[in-house]
């Protein structure tokens, strides 16, 4: 028998970083095991795949063992598209509400890892071939509020990207330095300091105070390391959009119309030279996204807007809503769907940014996908075991790439 034939598919529940159960799947071939655990969001997009079926993780495990495993046994793990098509057929809905998107993504990615391991190759090389040698810049969440922490900022994530880093280790270390130095700066400004779900500091301060503190710390780190940093935001605007009032309602009492929201975000981009802004507008409003994108020079990225779904991405492309798209495999449920979204984005000159979720495990698959598909930016968080798992894997991948070939991707100029 060829060593890539699937012999069995097994599932178990494991803890995620929030202390919730999630699903982990092993795909077993004659020769190797591929293992993947699914992450979970807290500020999930309305249109993303449903994470778990009715009955939660327990039911997802039963689905794998009783329905999915019998169908996949005997199939060739090399044939990723067939595996993913089978998952869609078993599910029979358009958002994986029957078996769960997390069930699907764990099986799908575990299969890819099993196929790679059966060939004795790391996943990034198995998927990307010998040409994949670019490492993504880490976009790190260093201050966070919104749905990820209480009593903190309204904007969900304040991010840094070390645009001047010369290699992956320097890039990772620069972000960590910002996170370290922020502790003192934020404590000075607001006293006690907590942390949010992704390991970012959660200070009781306004969004602009957070931006000011972050700017100061980035200046300090730049002076010390010589590595230029730029700032970014994940506004996660759907979380504070009030449908009834048709206003964005901020923690400090401001209530902004969509037009005022565009003005406000554009002013933040200018004042703080923001490189990246995710979900500045709520997830239904493709037009207001387009208005902002046409006005500013920054990456405007859709997360809840697109939910890694090619149909929604096409709608955004038609309207020029954004110039970047967030890629989260568990939003769409399979590797094939994830790849289609990345390919569509690249064909249309949108920048793909691959991302962790707020609830994570130490699974490091997204680091391999970033390198395999030449994705220039990875959003991962900066510290905490489940965050550094992705970053440290990039260091290991760089090592496999022989020093002369391993280089950081070319960052889009904005
Ligand atoms: P989530 O948040 O994983 O909680 O959905 C991350 C994000 O909005 O990017
Ligand atoms: Zn987001």
- Alpha helices by DSSP H, listed for 198-309, are 207-225, 258-271, 286-295
Query: Can you read off the two tokens belonging to residue 334?
Result: 């399979």
List the pLDDT tens digit at each of the 414 positions of the chain.
578 999 999 999 999 999 999 999 999 999 899 999 999 999 899 999 999 999 999 999 999 999 999 999 999 999 999 999 999 999 999 999 999 999 999 999 999 999 999 999 999 999 998 777 899 999 999 999 988 877 889 999 999 999 999 999 999 999 999 999 999 999 999 988 999 999 999 999 999 999 999 999 999 999 999 999 999 999 999 999 999 999 999 999 999 999 999 999 999 999 999 999 999 999 999 999 999 999 999 999 999 999 999 999 999 999 999 999 999 999 999 999 999 999 999 999 999 999 999 999 999 999 999 999 999 999 999 999 999 999 999 999 999 987 667 899 999 999
Which regions of the chain carry the CATH code 3.30.390.10?
A: 6-121
State the Cα–Cα distance between residues 290 and 294, nearest whole angstrom: 6
From ligand 2's centre to the CA of 135, what distance in Å? 22
Q: Tell me the CA–centroid distance for residue 387 and ligand 2, in Å.
A: 16
Query: Is 198 a known active-site residue?
Result: yes
Tell me the two tokens of residue 389: 């798992």
pLDDT at res. 150: 79
Prediction pTM value: 0.97
**CA of 148, closest atom in ligand 1:** 4
From 328, 360, 386, 393, the catalytic residue: 328
- Chain region(s) in the chain for CATH 3.20.20.120: 129-408
Strand pairing partners for 23? 13
- Of the residues 198, 283, 291, 393, only one is catalytic, namely 198
Whole-number Å distance, alpha carbon 234 to ligand 2 midpoint, is 5
Q: Give the whole-angstrom CA distance, residue 207 versus residue 281.
A: 16
Q: How far apart (Å, rounded) are the C-alpha atoms in residues 107 and 130?
A: 25
- At residue 358's C-alpha, the angle toward residues 147 and 392, to 5°, is 150
Class in CATH terms, 129-408: alpha beta
Pairing of strands 230-234, 324-327: unpaired
Angle between helices 168-190 and 385-400 (to 10 degrees): 160
Mutation to probe ligand 1, out of 17, 20, 22, 42 (largest number of atoms < 8 A from CB):
42
Could you tell me which residues come within 8 angstroms of residue 238 by beta carbon, excluding any fewer than 6 positions away? 43, 45, 46, 279, 282, 283, 304
Q: How far apart are alpha carbons 207 and 148 in whole angstroms?
A: 14
Domain 6-121 = CATH 1.10.443.10: no
């Amino acid at each position: 028998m060829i060593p890539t034939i699937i012999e069995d598919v097994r599932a178990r529940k494991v803890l995620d970083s929030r202390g919730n159960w999630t699903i982990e799947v092993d795909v077993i071939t004659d020769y190797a095991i591929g293992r993947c655990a699914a992450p979970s969001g807290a500020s999930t997009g309305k249109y993303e795949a449903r994470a778990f079926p009715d009955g939660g993780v327990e039911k997802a495990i039963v689905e794998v063992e009783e329905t999915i495993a019998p169908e996949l046994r005997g199939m060739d793990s090399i044939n990723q598209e067939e595996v993913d098509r089978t998952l869609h057929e078993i599910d029979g809905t358009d958002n994986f509400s029957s078996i769960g998107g997390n069930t699907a993504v764990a099986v799908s990615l575990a299969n890819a890892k099993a196929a790679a391991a059966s060939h004795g190759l790391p996943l990034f090389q198995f998927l990307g071939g010998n040409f994949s040698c670019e490492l993504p810049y880490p976009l790190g969440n260093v201050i966070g509020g919104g749905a990820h922490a209480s009593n903190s900022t309204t904007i969900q994530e304040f991010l840094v990207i070390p645009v001047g880093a010369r290699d992956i280790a320097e890039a990772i270390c620069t972000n960590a330095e910002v996170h370290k130095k922020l502790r003192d700066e934020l404590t000075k400004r607001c006293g006690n300091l907590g942390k949010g779900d992704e390991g970012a500091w959660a200070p009781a301060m306004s969004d602009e105070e957070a931006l000011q503190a972050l700017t100061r710390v980035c200046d300090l780190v730049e002076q010390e390391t010589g590595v230029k940093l730029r700032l970014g935001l994940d506004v996660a605007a759907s979380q504070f959009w009030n449908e009834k009032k048709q206003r964005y309602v901020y923690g400090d009492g401001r209530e902004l119309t969509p037009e005022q929201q565009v003005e406000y975000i554009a002013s933040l981009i200018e004042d703080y030279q923001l490189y990246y802004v995710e979900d500045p507008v709520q997830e239904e409003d493709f037009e207001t996204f387009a208005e902002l994108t046409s006005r500013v020079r920054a990456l405007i990225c859709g997360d809840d807007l697109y939910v890694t779904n090619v149909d929604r991405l096409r709608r955004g492309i038609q309207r020029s809503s954004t110039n970047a798209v967030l890629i989260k495999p568990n939003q769409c449920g399979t590797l094939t769907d994830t790849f289609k979204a990345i390919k569509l984005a690249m064909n249309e000159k949108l920048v793909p940014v691959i991302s962790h979720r707020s609830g994570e495990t130490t699974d490091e698959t997204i680091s391999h996908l970033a390198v395999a598909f030449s994705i220039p930016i990875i959003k991962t968080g900066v510290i905490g075991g489940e965050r550094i798992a992705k970053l440290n894997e990039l260091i290991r991948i760089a090592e496999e790439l022989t020093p002369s070939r391993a280089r950081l991707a070319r960052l889009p100029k904005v």
